[in-house]
Amino acid sequence: MRKSSRRFQQVCEKIQDKLYSPTRAIELLKDLSNVKFVETAEAHIALGLDPKYADQQLRATVLLPKGTGKNIRVAVIARGEKVAESISAGADLVGSEDLIDEIFKGHLNFDKLIATPDVMPLIAKLGRVLGPRGLMPSPKAGTVTNDLTNAINEFKAGKLEYRVDRTGILHVPFGKVNFPVKDLFINLTALQESIDRNRPLGAKGRYWKSVYLSSTMGPSIPIDINLLRDKN
C-alpha cells in the first residue's frame, strides 16, 4: 500500500472531521497549499446518477466568470471563410484537411478542438486519437458550431466541459489557488448552478450526495452542500 508523504500527512492533520462552509473550505484550501507551483483548485462532486442509463448521463459546459487561470490553446477545423473568422477570433491553430492529418499523426498541441458541422464527417477518423483525451468535438460541449467567434472567445475566457465518470462523480477544476477567495467562490457557484440546471431527466431521489474541494497535491476538504446551494 502506497504511503502518503510527511508533507501530505501534516496537511491532513489540519482538516477537522466536519463539513465546512464553501468560503471556509476555499480559505483552508489556499492556506494548506505549500508546494512550489500554483496548484489548481478542484471540485469533486458525487451525484445520485448511474451513467450506465442514457437518461442519467450528465455532460455539459459552464463558463467560469473568473476564468480558469490557464492559457487555453484552441484549435479550429473549418473551411472557406470560417478559417479567416477563426484566425481573427484568436484561435491558436486553424486548418482543414491539413490540420486533420497533423492531428491523426499525433500532433495534439492544443487544449480544445472546435469544428464546424460540415467538416465533422472528415473528423470521424480521429475518434481513436481524440476520444480518449476528451478532445472530440461535440454539439453538447459547444465545440461543433458555426458561431466560431463566440465559441473561441468563451473557451479562452473560462468555459469548460464537465461530465460524470462511470461512478457518477464529477471532477472539475474551478480556478487556481492564487485566485482571491471571492473569485473561487464565484466560479464554484457558477458550477453548482450549471449542474442543477442540467440535471438529467432520469435523476431520481437525492441528486447531490457529497462535495469535496482539493488542490492538485492537497487533501480533500468536505463542504456543506446546503450552504453551497444557498450561496452562503
Q: Are residues 55 and 170 in the same domain?
A: yes
The pLDDT score that the predictor gives to residue 2 is: 54
Task: Give the CATH number for residue 84.
Answer: 3.40.50.790
Per-residue pLDDT of the chain (232 residues; tens, 9 = 90+): 456 666 667 766 778 788 999 999 999 999 888 888 999 999 999 999 999 999 999 989 999 999 999 899 999 999 999 999 999 999 999 999 999 999 998 889 999 999 999 999 999 889 889 988 889 998 888 899 999 999 999 999 989 889 999 999 999 999 999 999 999 999 999 999 999 999 999 998 899 999 999 998 888 999 999 988 775 4
Domain check: are 53 and 88 in the same one?
no
d(CA 192, CA 198): 10
Q: What is the CATH number of the domain that holds 220?
A: 3.30.190.20
Locate cell 492564487: which residue? Answer: 178
Total count of domains within the chain = 2
CA 35 – CA 218 distance, rounded (Å): 9
* Domain end among 157, 183, 199: 157
Q: What is the DSSP string of 37-74?
A: S-PEEEEEEEES--TTSGGG--EEEEE-TT--SS---E
Do 126 and 187 belong to one domain?
no
Domain carrying residue 211: 14-68+158-230
Residue 9 domain-assigned (yes or no): no
Residues 104 and 123 occupy one common structural domain? yes
